[in-house]
Structure 1
Amino acid sequence: MNEEIKKKITIRKVFFSIFLVLTFIFLMGAIFGGIAGRDDIINTMAFVFGIPCGISLILTIVFGVKFRRLVKEMKKVEE
């Protein structure tokens, strides 16, 4: 039981880290795309990077919440 929880925690940590980095990258792309210059570039870059930023932000929150729940469950099992 304990090993299964540790394995799940490790997997969730990895996914959380990946989506956190992707959120940061897409956010930077949306910001710099918005600063970029002409109107058509602004709208396109902000749109192209903004949507994946929102999706990866939601997934980051989901995996973060699941990770916290598993850590709490692990502490209960240890006690």
Structure 2
Amino acid sequence: MISAPRHDRDYPDREIDCQEAMEPGFQAIGDCMREAGWQRGEVVRSLRRLMAADNMAQRENAKVEAELAIARAMIRAGR
């Protein structure tokens, strides 16, 4: 079971708490992959690539959101 953050606001150890909450899930993924015949290094590389792809998607989404906000502001301004 994944434990919730101590509270909604930011606090100094929030990232550590998040890592601790996620670790069992990553261990389970790794265990399933190794049982299927994948090597540890392959699993780790794949997880890293998935995280990198997610980070890239988040950056692209943020750019699109910023562009939309600018376009909406220009429309409201009558341009």
TM-score (norm 2): 0.48
Larger Rg: 2
The one of the two structures with greater contact order (alpha-carbon pairs below 8 A, sep at least 6) is 1
In terms of fraction of residues, the more helix-rich structure is 1
